[in-house]
Amino acid sequence: MKKIIILVLVAVMQLYAEAVTIPAMSFNLTSPDSPQQLVSSLNVLVVLTLLFLAPSLVLVMTTFTRFVIVFGFLRQALGTQQVPPTQLLVTLAMILTFFVMEPIGTEAYNKGIKPYIEEKIGYEEAFEKTTLPFKNFMIRNTREKDLALFLRIRKMENPATVADVPLSIVIPAFIISELKTAFEIGFLLFLPFLVIDMVVASILMSMGMMMLPPVMISLPFKILIFVLIDGWNLLVGNLIASIK
């Protein structure tokens, strides 16, 4: 019986293979026939590279770093362990980043990408006009001390205008500025919750309940206070207001 079933399955597979035509794909690498063909191939390579590096660009050229670090500090200050979950905090940070960066992305598209697609400007000019809004944004939110640090490391003179500052200087300076700002906000977030933990711990010690973890008692109070003051509204509003 088993042999018969196997023979029937083999016969059906053979008939299906004869009925279905599998398309062939060619991946031959040939030399370009013209300069235009070479430019087109290089453009495809550049686009694929940008798509591959898109997550990293989101991290280093936008406010995503500030948002996600502050949200992580908030969860630790509340002491809620994995609530809200990390995926939700990262998603919220991405949504807020899109909200903040949308005008800048629109300006970059209208000034650089759109004219390039319409063949009104060249590739180099399109790149400069596309990156200029992001560069202006990053410099506005970067401390002069951080810019001077990387200029000094490269042994470069102070640039006269924003356009003269290379992206290789702006991006690392912007990252460390965002990290410092995020840690400052995180420290301010920790203070009120730390006071609550200290008060609860002192009360438990005075009552002789040293075996009871203070976190277990202080956690409901911290959540209650955070909800009563509308903490998410205040936090998100002040985070966006801190962006120049």
pLDDT tens readout for residues 64-90: 888 989 998 888 888 887 778 888 888
Quick check: pTM over 0.75? no
Range from 17-26, 84-93, 104-113, 144-153 carrying the lowest mean pLDDT: 17-26
CA distance linking residue 86 with residue 84, whole number of Å: 7
**Most confident segment among 54-58, 87-91, 108-112:** 87-91
Tokens for 81?
Answer: 């362990």
For 86-95, 120-129, 134-143, which range has the lowest pLDDT when averaged over its residues? 120-129
Q: What CA–CA distance (Å, rounded) separates 35 from 39?
A: 6
Q: What is the DSSP letter of 63?
A: T
Q: Give residue 54's pLDDT.
A: 65
Is the pLDDT confidence value at 205 over 60? yes
Tell me which of 40 and 237 has the higher pLDDT: 237
Mean pLDDT, residues 199-219: 73
Q: What is the largest CA-CA distance in the chain?
A: 87
